[in-house]
Amino acid sequence: MSTKVVEIPAVWIAGASCSGCSVSLLNAVSPTVKNLLIDPIIPGKHLNLRFHSTVMAGQGEPAMQVLQATRKADKGGYLVLVEGSVVGQDDGLYCTIGEVGGKQIAFQDKLLDLARDALAVVSVGTCASFGGIPAAHPNPSRSQGVKQALDQAGIKKPVINVPGCPPHPDWLLGTVAMVMLKGLPSADDLDYALRPKAFYGKLIHDNCPRRAYFDAGRFAQRASDPGCLYQIGCKGPLTYADCPTRLWNNGVNWCVGAGSPCIGCCEPTFPDDVQPVFEKINEDRLSRFQIKTRG
Ligand code: SF4
Ligand code: SF4
């Protein structure tokens, strides 16, 4: 006897981004993107991803109409997955996502439209979560994160931030799976920056295999040296993510394991407060950063 599968509608829209978050999702291994699109990734539940501006075959006005149709038909029941930051300069004129009736649709407007009637919004990557690189000083495009844009527009909708530049595919798929399994996260499931504690609950520095070097004062002077990478810019002492234990590329390695300092890519103040990337963070910045990150 076949069991009825519940469809959870979702749309993925992209603003000011490099599409790296999409690429990271395409690299998912367990489940794969094919599993995500075709199979129920939670028993009895299937994520019905209807629109993905980078990888979908559909284009033009018929594709744009899918967004509007989802908003109308599934009011209050669909997820909006957002990649990239929200460009505000000149009413969002410099970041459009398509045309309807010959009129350019600003990403900012479409995001606010869709968010109003969504179940929740998932910000995929640091740009969508906090503004990220497009919002770096001096931010001429007046870019910002999704939560900030919704707050400004007075839209009170649950937002879950899944930062990273890019985010690990497990962080995104795990977050979506949690919502499908248990519903929206409680305040206790998220940290002060609305990141799921399941993935962002621990400091990188506390789980780093080079930590014994740090404690012993043995510091690398070059990326190829053994030793702790703190003196050459590692931001692991300020960054919350499970990279040292989860690893990347199907468990092959991670930034510090490959000899590169962690650049703090999951933090709300990335990239302004973590540069220069390959220089030890100075004490003033360290204390400012800690105040911000620990709320
Ligand atoms: S390499 Fe970075 S995360 Fe690892 S112990 Fe040194 S400072 Fe901490
Ligand atoms: S180790 Fe640091 S820079 Fe690398 S992915 Fe993790 S949080 Fe980002």
pLDDT at residue 294, as a whole number: 44
Distance 135 CA to ligand 1 centre (A): 27
- Among the bound ligands, name the one nearest to the CA of residue 207: 1
Q: What is the pTM of this model?
A: 0.95
Distance 273 CA to ligand 2 centre (A): 15
- Sorted by where each begins, the domain ranges of the chain are 6-198, 204-294
**CA-to-CA distance for 41 and 176, rounded, in angstroms?**
10
pLDDT by residue (tens digit) across 12-22?
A: 999 999 999 99
Tell me, using a 6 A CB cutoff, whether residue 210 lines ligand 1.
Answer: yes
Distance 274 CA to ligand 1 centre (A): 14
Tell me, using a 6 A CB cutoff, whether residue 125 lines ligand 1.
Answer: no
Lowest mean pLDDT among 2-6, 79-83, 220-224, 264-268: 2-6
pLDDT of 289 strictly over 90 = no
Greatest C-alpha distance within the chain: 65
Q: Are 109 and 92 in contact (CB under 8 A)?
A: yes
List the CATH code of the domain at 6-198: 3.40.50.700
pLDDT by residue (tens digit) across 27-48?
A: 999 899 999 889 998 899 999 9
H/E stretch holding 150 reads helix 146-152
Q: Which of the four pLDDT bands, split at 50, 70 and 90, describes residue 283?
A: low
Q: What is the mean pLDDT of the chain?
A: 94
Which atom of ligand 1 is nearest to 234's Cα? 2
CATH superfamily for 204-294 is Cytochrome-c3 hydrogenase, C-terminal domain (4.10.480.10)
- The CA-based dihedral angle spanning residues 149, 153, 158, 159, taken in that order and rounded to the nearest 10 degrees: 0
Tell me, using a 6 A CB cutoff, whether residue 208 lines ligand 1.
Answer: yes
Q: Which of the four pLDDT bands, split at 50, 70 and 90, describes residue 1?
A: low
Collect all residues with Cβ–Cβ distance below 8 Å to 156 and sequence separation of at least 6: 150
